[in-house]
Structure 1
């Protein structure tokens, strides 16, 4: 095995595009925007077996006086997962070969991180990539986390019948009132309302800034969109969506609880849109937050597992506390009245 920093954008993006574990967030230009706005230095590692690239692993390094931190992804980026992208052949090879690949990746990445000597290291892997054991054997801890998904290959009527009774009733009730829906790029309004709603809950908005979102959405207009739902001219729900490969995701959003059923209606409408566009899976981020998961479970989703992997020293434990309590525990989904 050999590991090196990759500077070939085309090589990187072709690998991400071909792998089932490659997300839009792994794309080269997305990573460079994170680097630009976060203050973290991008370290785009590639792991090779002979001449074959078998893994790309973007790390982000931040240096403070007396403390270095390594993340994938960095906090406040509205990126739920990052971490390693394994070769497109990974799912087809035998289990022994899979374990050999992952052990080599873990060993090489750990060696690079050990040279950096950070006080705190934290990765969030993509759902479905589950073998974190080689990292645990190298001294990292791992926490299992969950997200909700809906299988869009099923008939729409079957998806509808799986919703809770109260969910269906709320959707029907809201469909009878006067409302409008629109796709919008009005991030100024989104950002202002988000700050207001988070402020009402005594929280700060867990996002790098409006300019960051503007650049990301401008760079990927076909993949990242916003949808506004208005009742009597008032915005009652905004959903930021992600669309890439076969996957459609509710990535961020804000909602006003003044009216009944608007969130359920908006989610149902986006499920129908995603199915019409041919996506196979609809993801609702937020299953690890109790107050949000209670709402999301009414859509009868399945749960998918993913992992948070971390390592720290004594100084890094303070950084970990700040990350988990001030940043990570604040999902980018605010609702008035909560």
Structure 2
């Protein structure tokens, strides 16, 4: 194979997206919509590497040049994505893409390259990290009641508790963003995490008009919880979610995710991707109690000017005082500072 790697040109964007949609390794994070959303909001420079065999696209690697005061300069695939990394037809194409990445990293003098493909199908001989993040997903049965029966008894009781309390749900578009953002900002402040800019969610909804929706939970006429969700190929992916703390006691989160699973089932989706969580955290235990089995996510690194894999995860003990402080900030302060700060934790 005569593999050639080129920077993706605007004229080939449709070809790129078609390749991603048809590849077993393609994710929504590989799509050019992710590029459009991030570049509209964050000061990242994208370099989408396309591998060709003649004029036939045979592999792709989305990269973003990120400058962080925490870990220095890096090439990431991709920022704020659970997935990304290499998407290719063969080990030969993978080798071709990696050779190009190494040259690019050298030219840009970055500290490291992070590839978030989450697996090692190509048996890469690269430094990796698989002990921090896991992913949770399982098939969606075509029968709604079979999906309910597959949920452990305690969580089924929690779902029914939410229904009895009077929660209802709707699947919404951009019109839900103002209410959703208020709920989401409240939730992440309580976790000690900086909030994304509002315009990031607008950009995501614009970049993925057919795939991005917001599942809203209502109580007495008010949105009290919501999750921005991607519907990609045969899977549903709840991605950014939150709820007002006052409704936790009424199992609002259990109700919300069940409603999303039910709607996805009724619309013919076949996999429920519950997403990434850090081991030993509350979200990790929540998903496990739903009967989902954790699968380690393996991220690979090219270490350039660094000698060790960086750790900018909130689990890093040096961030704990900051997280504790952030939880105590007034909501208005967190909303003002968070959108500027989050760019350094991609």
Shorter chain as denominator, the TM-score bin is 0.7 to 0.9
Shift of residue 275, structure 1, vs aligned partner: 1.1
What is the distance in 2 between the residues matched to 1:67 and 1:174? 45
Counterpart contact for 1:106–1:134, Cα < 8 Å:
no
TM-score (norm 2): 0.78
Shift of residue 263, structure 1, vs aligned partner: 1.5
The C-alpha deviation readout for 1:123-171, integer Å capped at 9, x for no partner, is 211x5x42364351xxx43435421112114643332222121111112
Q: What secondary structure does 1:199 align onto?
A: helix
Counterpart contact for 1:73–1:82, Cα < 8 Å:
yes
What is the distance in 1 between the residues matched to 2:68 and 2:282? 34
Counterpart contact for 2:105–2:304, Cα < 8 Å:
no
Shift of residue 211, structure 1, vs aligned partner: 0.9
Residue of structure 2 equivalent to 1:117: 109
Counterpart contact for 1:103–1:134, Cα < 8 Å:
no
Residue of structure 2 equivalent to 1:267: 257
Residue of structure 2 equivalent to 1:93: none
What is the distance in 1 between the residues matched to 2:74 and 2:17? 26
Q: Note if 1:180 corresponds to 2:168.
A: yes
Counterpart contact for 1:102–1:134, Cα < 8 Å:
no
What is the distance in 1 between the residues matched to 2:312 and 2:289? 32
Counterpart contact for 2:137–2:293, Cα < 8 Å:
yes
Q: Note if 1:32 corresponds to 2:43.
A: no
Counterpart contact for 1:2–1:108, Cα < 8 Å:
no
Residue of structure 2 equivalent to 1:5: 7
Q: What secondary structure does 2:287 align onto?
A: helix
What is the distance in 2 between the residues matched to 1:280 and 1:286? 19
Counterpart contact for 2:179–2:223, Cα < 8 Å:
no
Q: Which runs of 5+ in 1 are unaligned?
A: 88-97
Shift of residue 29, structure 1, vs aligned partner: 3.4
Residue of structure 2 equivalent to 1:68: 73
Q: Note if 1:152 corresponds to 2:132.
A: no
Residue of structure 1 equivalent to 2:128: 141
| Residues 174-253 of structure 1: pairs in structure 2 closer than 5 A | 174-184=162-172, 185-205=175-195, 207=196, 209-253=197-241
Shift of residue 279, structure 1, vs aligned partner: 0.9
The C-alpha deviation readout for 1:258-278, integer Å capped at 9, x for no partner, is 332221122111111111111
Counterpart contact for 1:130–1:306, Cα < 8 Å:
no
Q: Which runs of 5+ in 2 are unaligned?
A: 328-346
| Partner residue of 1:308 out of 289, 299, 308 | 299
What is the distance in 2 between the residues matched to 1:321 and 1:18? 33
Shift of residue 305, structure 1, vs aligned partner: 4.1
Distance 1:192 1:18, change over 3 A: same
Shift of residue 41, structure 1, vs aligned partner: 0.9
The C-alpha deviation readout for 1:64-91, integer Å capped at 9, x for no partner, is 79953211112xx4x321112223xxxx
Distance 1:142 1:149, change over 3 A: same
Distance 1:154 1:306, change over 3 A: farther
Shift of residue 245, structure 1, vs aligned partner: 0.7
What is the distance in 1 between the residues matched to 2:84 and 2:261? 24
What is the distance in 2 between the residues matched to 1:322 and 1:142? 13
The C-alpha deviation readout for 1:263-311, integer Å capped at 9, x for no partner, is 1122111111111111110111133242111111122124444321224
What is the distance in 2 between the residues matched to 1:173 and 1:124? 38
Residue of structure 2 equivalent to 1:287: 277
Shift of residue 54, structure 1, vs aligned partner: 1.8
Q: Note if 1:298 corresponds to 2:298.
A: no
| Partner residue of 1:43 out of 42, 47, 63 | 47
Counterpart contact for 2:65–2:74, Cα < 8 Å:
yes
What is the distance in 1 between the residues matched to 2:176 and 2:32? 25
Counterpart contact for 2:229–2:236, Cα < 8 Å:
yes
Alpha carbon RMSD of aligned pairs, Å?
Answer: 3.0
Q: Note if 1:254 corresponds to 2:246.
A: no
Q: What secondary structure does 1:251 align onto?
A: strand
What is the distance in 2 between the residues matched to 1:112 and 1:315? 16
What is the distance in 2 between the residues matched to 1:12 and 1:263? 36
Counterpart contact for 2:237–2:273, Cα < 8 Å:
yes
What is the distance in 2 between the residues matched to 1:203 and 1:29? 25
